[in-house]
């Protein structure tokens, strides 16, 4: 990188990492240039949710956060959520429901749903909507995404899945 850079250190998908960044670089730009391209650039203005990552467990627009603001924090991207060969339950349900069209919104959806499932103990529709309403989809009309998420949550509840502690931290504000 050019002059006027400095180091930023944070945990990325479970590993302590150090990157060179400029003071004006956004976290989204840093992640993508470092190869974490599952995190998408959509509006760049904090409205579409395509860039959603988790920062200390909270769903966060990576296009709005300066990379330097990640110093000392825990960042998770879609690359931590599942793989092609070992998808998460929500990713499986999205495929089963035919909820993925262009797919551009899906990484952000998955990360917001992750924040939801790791934070809330009561997964009623209103709470679910609070977590997901920062994620836009231009293709699907939302219905199939909703079906996939609801099935994921209901399956988790039926299996006695462990929602995390209620921290009131995970929803994007």
Binding residues vs ligand FES (CB under 6 A): 41-44, 46-51, 61, 63, 100-105, 137-140
Angle at 92 (CA atoms; ends 145, 156), nearest 5 degrees: 85
**Smallest separation, CB 23 to ligand FES (Å):** 19
How many separate helices (H) and strands (E) can be counted in the chain? 5, 5
List C-alpha distances in Å: 19 to 33, 147, 155. 11, 39, 39
**Smallest separation, CB 136 to ligand FES (Å):** 7
Contact 63, 44 (CB under 8 A): yes
Query: Pairing state of beta strands 74-76 and 58-61?
Result: unpaired
Strands in 13-84 per DSSP E:
15-21, 52-55, 58-61, 74-76
**Smallest separation, CB 140 to ligand FES (Å):** 5
Q: Which is nearer to ligand FES, 13 or 101 (CB)?
A: 101
Q: Which is nearer to ligand FES, 141 or 161 (CB)?
A: 141
Q: Which is nearer to ligand FES, 38 or 42 (CB)?
A: 42
Contact 51, 40 (CB under 8 A): yes
3-state SS, residue 74: strand
Q: Which is nearer to ligand FES, 110 or 137 (CB)?
A: 137
**Smallest separation, CB 161 to ligand FES (Å):** 26
**Smallest separation, CB 49 to ligand FES (Å):** 5
Q: Which is nearer to ligand FES, 50 or 153 (CB)?
A: 50
């Amino acid at each position: 990188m050019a002059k006027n850079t400095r180091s930023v250190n944070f945990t990325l998908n479970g590993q302590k990492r150090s990157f060179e960044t400029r003071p004006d670089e956004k976290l989204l730009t840093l992640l993508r240039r470092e190869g974490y391209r599952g995190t998408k650039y959509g509006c760049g203005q904090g409205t579409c949710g395509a860039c959603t990552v988790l920062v200390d467990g909270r769903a966060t627009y990576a296009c709005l956060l300066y990379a330097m603001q990640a110093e000392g924090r825990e960042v998770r991207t879609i690359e931590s959520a599942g793989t092609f060969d070992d998808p998460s339950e929500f990713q499986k349900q999205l495929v089963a429901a035919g909820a993925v069209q262009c797919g551009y919104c899906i990484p952000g959806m998955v990360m917001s749903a992750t924040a939801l499932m790791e934070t809330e103990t009561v997964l009623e529709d209103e709470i679910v909507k609070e977590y997901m309403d920062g994620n836009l989809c231009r293709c699907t009309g939302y219905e199939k995404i909703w079906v996939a998420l609801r099935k994921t949550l209901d399956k988790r509840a039926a299996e006695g899945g462990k929602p995390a502690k209620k921290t009131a931290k995970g929803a994007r504000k």
